[in-house]
Amino acid sequence: MAVSRYTQTQLSHLLKSCSCIPHLTQLQSLLTKSGLLHHPFYLRPLLSLSSLSAWGNLSFSLSLLLSSLPSNGSSNISPALSSLSFPLIRAFSSSIHPSFSLSLFVFLHTHITFSSSSSSLFAFFPFLFKSCGRAFNFSDPPYPPFLHSGLHLHCLVLTLGHVKDHFVQNSLISMYSLFGDIDSARKVFDEMSAKTTISWNALMNAYVRTGDLHSAKRLFLMMPERNITTWNSFIKMFVKSGDLIGAQKVFDEMLQRDSISWNSLIAGYIRAKKYNRALDLFREMQYNKMEPTQLTLISVLGACAELNELSLGKEIHNYLNNKNILIDGLGNTRLL
């Protein structure tokens, strides 16, 4: 159905002004009535906004994408529709349901024939590798099909000739790290012609995750460039090994710190039952206007209970309630 230039301008303006799911729902209804809902010009931003915005809703996105599939029983899906699914696959890879990325990709790949020069397929791989690693890591006990999917996708990348891209290589290192396969992670790293700071950090995280702290320290000293992620990984390494003196030393040497730096060290002190030091650090964190994680807040709440720090405990308790964060019943009881 054709629409006037004015109407198209109005619809484009509405798209840009969307800031919540109810806005998208209203726009979806308007586009449906205009017969334009499945036009790529409108569908693409709708899917991106609903998938990747902080206020997005993946259920809404998935429903929207599925409604765009052929309804005539045809098993053929256009590559253009495949590219429209990219925001969902990317978003699901970071969600609590990373396996949904894999299911969606498998469904599309079953119905679409990609050539080795397909640029539309290339962008998917880093997020698919991320999904494989996280899905495997989340499963308890580890679920082998996620590992097999990762290996299959790695073979597909080799077949399509995309394996030399550094985004793909970095995501492969991270995936094999989550699989606990440090040898494969190292092999990918060694085969990289140009290593970025992200590449070095990915391998260092792999060593820390698998408990090879000696190799992690050696790699840290070899790194040509370090960023805040590197230093945070080094803090986590010392915390994991129980060396809080080493973790504190790294923390003190950092020229720049973020919330992860503070949260990691506080968690280490609480794990070691050094509650006074943990609370001192937490107060310093507040003074420096750094945002604590939910896990840190709940852990510090337990430390307050251990030391009978009722004033700070109530302050944290109120903060958690205002954020609608559920807390452990034991922590509640101890503060009463």
Tell me the per-residue pLDDT of 219-248, one tens digit each, with 9 for 90 and over.
Answer: 998 999 999 999 999 999 999 889 999 999
Closest CA to 56 of 10, 90, 79: 90
Q: What percent of the chain is predicted at pLDDT more than 70?
A: 87
CA distance 261 to 275: 18
CA distance 213 to 69: 49
| Assessment of whether the complete model's pTM goes beyond 0.85 | no
Q: What is the pLDDT of residue 98?
A: 95
In whole angstroms, how far apart are CA 331 and each of 80, 106, 142, 297, 302?
Answer: 52, 44, 31, 11, 6
CA distance 174 to 3: 48
CB 307 within 8 A of CB 276: yes
* Placement of tokens 């609480």 in the chain: 270
* Average predicted confidence (pLDDT) for the chain: 84
Closest CA to 112 of 154, 147, 92, 84: 84
Residue count of the chain: 336
In whole angstroms, how far apart are CA 270 and each of 15, 18, 264?
Answer: 47, 43, 10
CA distance 282 to 275: 10
CA distance 261 to 238: 12
Give tens-digit pLDDT for 265-313.
999 998 898 988 988 998 898 889 888 888 788 888 888 888 888 877 8
| Residue 60 tokens, joined | 């809404």
Give tens-digit pLDDT for 144-189.
899 999 999 999 899 888 788 889 999 999 999 999 999 999 999 9
| Helix, strand, coil percentages in the chain from 3-state DSSP, rounded to 5 | 70, 0, 30
Average pLDDT over residues 188-202: 93
Cis peptide bond prior to 141, omega within 30° of 0 = yes
Write the single-letter amino acid at 205. N
Residues 6+ apart with CB under 8 A from 37: 28, 31, 43, 67
| Residue 82 tokens, joined | 């495949």
CB 274 within 8 A of CB 247: no
| Position 79 confidence tier, pLDDT thresholds 50, 70, 90 | low
CB 154 within 8 A of CB 172: yes
Average pLDDT over residues 89-109: 91
Got the DSSP string for 133-180?
HHHHHHSSS--HHHHHHHHHHHHHHHHHT-TT-HHHHHHHHHHHHHHT
Residue 209, pLDDT above cutoff 50: yes
Write the single-letter amino acid at 42. Y
